[in-house]
Structure 1
Amino acid sequence: MLTDAGGFGRISILAADRLMNSPRLYATFLLWLLSELFETLPEVGDPEKPKLVFFFDEAHLLFNDAPRALVAKVEQVARLIRSKGVGVYFITQNPADVPETILGQLGNRVQHALRAFTAKDQKDLAKAAETYRPNPRFQIDEAIRDVGTGEAVTSMLELKGIPGIAERTLIRPPSSQLGPLDAAVRAAVVAASPVKGKYDTTLDRDSAWERLRARADSAAKEAARDAEAIEARPDADSREFERARRYDGNGYDAPKKKPAASRSDSVGTAFAKSFARQLGTRSGQAIVRGVLGSLFGKR
């Protein structure tokens, strides 16, 4: 992990403003990033402070219309990645955007004001208040509705990982610029980055789909060659039928010719066998693990 001379960590910002226009792709990328860290980082137990912290803005994009398997994987990674020394913060306007199974795994909470004008808003407000440890000094749902600018209802983990009671807290204003960067400022920040040049060149590597498609095409060609070779071989049944027909002078029925497999059947059978052989190789197995590993298990 990169740190400066004083041991302080560095802040890296992924500009996902265009990527967020494709929510499924955005969710898949973030899940891949977490999964890679989870699988490669060593176990560190329960450190006093994390080595790496992620802040996922617009977190509702991770879960809107997401497949159940994807949500289950995010929940698993969010729960277990703490043992790798990694913290995860989900940033969204409404806690109802985050599934309850994942919301229950979050230790630190910072809730700014929620307005409740409709019946649904009131249900969401009550639901958000229920996720806090009660404070006898005030009603949490009223506090969430009434906090002003620069104020929030917070709950932080105490000793032994116990959630603290809800508190009304003043938030220190950020020292950084508020609002989006213009193109000139962004270019200057990138130029001063210690990783300048590393990500300047766009790479268009072969995707798993492209590799599988290439293997399928190769298997189809091999199947076609196998089918042609089968058709080119002399048909033993045909020779037997011709001999029987020539010497059928005693009134016996000539043996009937067995129907030959159609060309489409031969090609389909040969294709299936060839494609199965291709996926049985090491590279074929690696592709399948890469495609399905993030959703259904480790690679």
Structure 2
Amino acid sequence: MSAVDTPAPAETSGPLEADEIARIVSGYTFEAETLDLGALVNGDPVPEAQIRIPLAMTNRHGLVAGATGTGKTRTLQGLAEQLAAKGVPVFAADIKGDLTGVATPGESNEKLLARTRAIGQEWEPAASVTEYFALGGIGTGVPVRATVSGFGPLLLSKVLGLNETQESSLGLVFHYADEHGLALVDLSDLRAVLTYLTSDEGKAELKQLGGLSSATAGVILRELITFADDGADVFFGEPEFDVKDFLRTAPDGRGVISLLEVPGVIDKPALFSTFLMYLLAELFETLPEVGDLDKPKLVFFFDEAHLLFKDASRAFVDAIVQTVRLIRSKGVGVFFVTQTPKDVPADVLGQLGSRIQHALRAFTPDDAKALRATVGTYPTSGYDLERTLQELGTGEAIVTVMSEKGAPTPVAWTRMRAPQGLMSPTPAPAVAAAVTASPLLARYGTAIDRESAREILTAKMAAADAAEKAAADAAQRAKDEAEYAKQKAAIDKAQEKAERDAQREYDRLLKKTGGSTRTTRKAEKSPLEQVLGSKTTQTIISSVIRGVFGNGRR
């Protein structure tokens, strides 16, 4: 029977027996390459009992948890440094900005050296090759943007806080845009589509969508406007970031540590966490199947993981579960970093092969409940975990990982190794210089605004407005021409009547004068002119015109 299969002794809060220590040593002895996590603690550190994780098992995912100030960030930093040193690229979100220290050699002091010697760590300062990124270019880093189409309706619904009905309706809008060749590059494009569908020009097409009501479209549009007004529109656009750029190695073979600097967006937790999920989903979509590798192609640290799952819809959680389950076959390992395992849904937690649990606090009934729930997720061990998890010192953790055989290793109280990089932020000028020198800056540094849905629909609506105006103008011209023809016909008719009346008057005068039209005065007008100019004839013409056009007073 192997050491891993040996029945564990009853839980105890006292020192471990020699056979339990031997069991732990055996359980963490591996043939393949490993990452060193630290040394077993049994009252004092036991340097010969090194706690490790097989490098190949880091793509079976993991969890780094613990209360604030217990050492999670330093554990993350130490893991990232070792992975990079072994040629594995690393991605991590830098919430507070203090992970930038990986790019600068650490600073030695007596306290640090005494601690590292006690756990058998031969500590030397070292810097890792580091690339800095920033969401939408907010902050210091190469801009990371996504198109709205690439982000997708599921993730965008999470960011906007939409309910499941609104989420499905947003999916219909994306489908409509795709079917009609309307590229959704930024938020203004999506707003343009929604505005068009709720306008007079688009209401017929909105009706054809079936499941999208104008009221729901209006709600989504208002949420988008608020979202953009909060400054979130800068995260969407082109050039869209290619996640394969996270899988880079340095010329000397070391993996590049990619840090997403997010201090400027930490007040938008839903956006931050969902954007990380987008990057992970993009990795899943774009990377080829590679099966089990000797070492991962990338390890992705998902910090503040509780933000991702807060108020998440069932469809959203299902998408995460599916991604985590399948992405390891793409050579990507995912480590969730949060406060308690309770922050992570059970379906996700069950897929995490390695567990590094720093201290938990139990100051409230809810804390105590979370503590008991955490204990219940660990295999049987020689510890009273409910007590031990509250007694862990800073930089100590309860560890169990996946062995080379795929079985959990014994639970071990571990004093974690110290990072070799600076355990405080790298000076800002050095970070800025690294960003300026990045070969990726020329590719992603300048935003591009190409023709997309907004421009297409604006032109379409402008053309519709122009056509409507032209039709209205044509109708008005036709109306004016008809009115003119009517008026001309009336005038012609009046003129004809006046001429007939004048002719009758002329004939009457001729008859009266016996046919003679000569006068004694040379300048006297002809009888026809006399008739046409007579007061009687003018009165007749005026009355006819007034009858047609009114009295002329408007």
Q: Same fold (TM over 0.5)?
A: yes
The alignment of Structure 1 onto Structure 2 pairs a total of residues equal to 230
State the match for 2:289 in structure 1: 43
2:263 aligns to what SS in structure 1? coil
Whole-angstrom CA distance in 2 between matches of 1:199 and 1:124: 46
1:165 paired residue among 386, 397, 410 = 410
Q: Which runs of 5+ in 1 are unaligned?
A: 234-299
2:261 paired residue among 7, 12, 15 = 15
- 2:420 maps to 1:175: yes
CA RMSD of aligned residues (A): 3.0
Instruction: For residues 85-140 of structure 1, give each alpha carbon's deviation from its aligned partner in whole angstroms, at most 9, with x where no partner exists.
Output: 001111112322222222222111111000111110011111112222221x1122
Decide which moves more: 215-224 or 143-152.
215-224
- 2:383 maps to 1:138: yes
State the match for 1:53 in structure 2: 299
Whole-angstrom CA distance in 2 between matches of 1:225 and 1:92: 56
Q: Which runs of 4+ in 1 moved over 4 A?
A: 221-233
Whole-angstrom CA distance in 1 between matches of 2:453 and 2:251: 47
Instruction: For residues 123-169 of structure 1, give each alpha carbon's deviation from its aligned partner in whole angstroms, at most 9, with x where no partner exists.
Output: 1111112222221x112222222111221001111134223232111
User: What is the Cα deviation at residue 66 of structure 1?
Assistant: 3.4
Contact 1:132 1:165 in 2 (8 A): no
Whole-angstrom CA distance in 2 between matches of 1:86 and 1:216: 40
User: What is the Cα deviation at residue 54 of structure 1?
Assistant: 0.9
- 2:360 maps to 1:119: no
For normalisation by structure 1, the TM-score amounts to 0.66
User: What is the Cα deviation at residue 185 of structure 1?
Assistant: 3.2
1:12 aligns to what SS in structure 2? strand
Q: Which amino acid aligns with 2:259?
A: I
User: What is the Cα deviation at residue 67 of structure 1?
Assistant: 3.7
Taking structure 1 as reference, are residues 215 and 141 closer, same or farther at Cα in structure 2, changes over 3 Å only? farther
Whole-angstrom CA distance in 1 between matches of 2:449 and 2:346: 37
Q: Which amino acid aligns with 2:421?
A: S
- 2:442 maps to 1:198: yes
User: What is the Cα deviation at residue 47 of structure 1?
Assistant: 1.7
Decide which moves more: 161-170 or 85-94.
161-170
Whole-angstrom CA distance in 1 between matches of 2:438 and 2:445: 16
- 2:316 maps to 1:75: no
Whole-angstrom CA distance in 1 between matches of 2:423 and 2:250: 24
User: What is the Cα deviation at residue 79 of structure 1?
Assistant: 1.5
Whole-angstrom CA distance in 1 between matches of 2:329 and 2:455: 40
Whole-angstrom CA distance in 1 between matches of 2:441 and 2:280: 24
1:184 paired residue among 405, 411, 429 = 429
Whole-angstrom CA distance in 2 between matches of 1:166 and 1:39: 35
State the match for 1:287 in structure 2: none
Whole-angstrom CA distance in 2 between matches of 1:16 and 1:227: 49
Whole-angstrom CA distance in 1 between matches of 2:313 and 2:263: 23
Whole-angstrom CA distance in 1 between matches of 2:468 and 2:260: 52
Whole-angstrom CA distance in 1 between matches of 2:294 and 2:414: 23
Q: Which amino acid aligns with 2:410?
A: I
Contact 2:305 2:336 in 1 (8 A): yes
Q: Which amino acid aligns with 1:43?
A: E
Contact 2:273 2:304 in 1 (8 A): no
1:34 paired residue among 267, 280, 287 = 280
- 2:397 maps to 1:156: no
Taking structure 1 as reference, are residues 21 and 8 closer, same or farther at Cα in structure 2, changes over 3 Å only? same
Taking structure 1 as reference, are residues 107 and 219 closer, same or farther at Cα in structure 2, changes over 3 Å only? same
User: What is the Cα deviation at residue 46 of structure 1?
Assistant: 1.8
Whole-angstrom CA distance in 2 between matches of 1:56 and 1:79: 15
Whole-angstrom CA distance in 1 between matches of 2:280 and 2:346: 20
For normalisation by structure 2, the TM-score amounts to 0.38
Taking structure 1 as reference, are residues 121 and 2 closer, same or farther at Cα in structure 2, changes over 3 Å only? same
State the match for 2:192 in structure 1: none
Q: Which amino acid aligns with 1:168?
A: W
Q: Which amino acid aligns with 1:116?
A: A
